[in-house]
Amino acid sequence: MKYSNSIEIDLPREKVAQLLADPEHIPKWLRGVVLHEPVSGIHGQLGTKSRVVMQSGKRTMECTETITRRDPADLHEIPEEIVVHFDREIVGAGMWSVVRDRLTEADPETTLWEQESEYRFSNLLMRLVARLMPSTFHKQSQQHMEDFKAFAERGKDVREEND
């Protein structure tokens, strides 16, 4: 299953890239993240493997995320013509996914964030769910992007909604 999402963020591309790459901010915008810790490498850097634990209701999922592309490596003073790329592979029980993020400068103060996602499942139930309800995955990815936008532009923390 493959799909794409996009959103405009009212911040310069360099700032958006820095916020996305900072591990301290992940729990503020990624709903359900319980843990996101490197097991090898430096968080957000090319080749880094991280243990990720997510919780949705009473269901907990653990997976491994590997950064497969980060271009440019230095997120400070990014030249105007450069597109920022963050690609990662996510592997969990019965699931494989790849997410490709692209940040382009819509104008000097606005960033276009485009995301391509691909999922494969070995679990029969999840394959069936993905086939029957692909919009569920698409909507969840869009929600994550909207949550990041709210965090980046206004400092909104998704954890405060549960208080």
Which residues touch 16 (CB under 8 Å, ≥6 apart)? 9, 103, 111, 113, 152
User: pTM to 2 decimals?
Assistant: 0.89
Q: Are 113 and 9 in contact (CB under 8 A)?
A: yes
What is 2-158's CATH superfamily? START domain (3.30.530.20)
What is the pLDDT at residue 162? 59
Helix (H, G, I), strand (E, B) or coil at 111: strand
Rounded CA-CA distance 80/72 in Å is: 12
What is the pLDDT at residue 54? 93
10-residue averages of pLDDT along the chain (163 residues): 96 93 91 94 91 91 95 79 90 93 94 95 79 83 96 94 62
What is the pLDDT at residue 33? 94
Residue 65 token pair: 């995320």
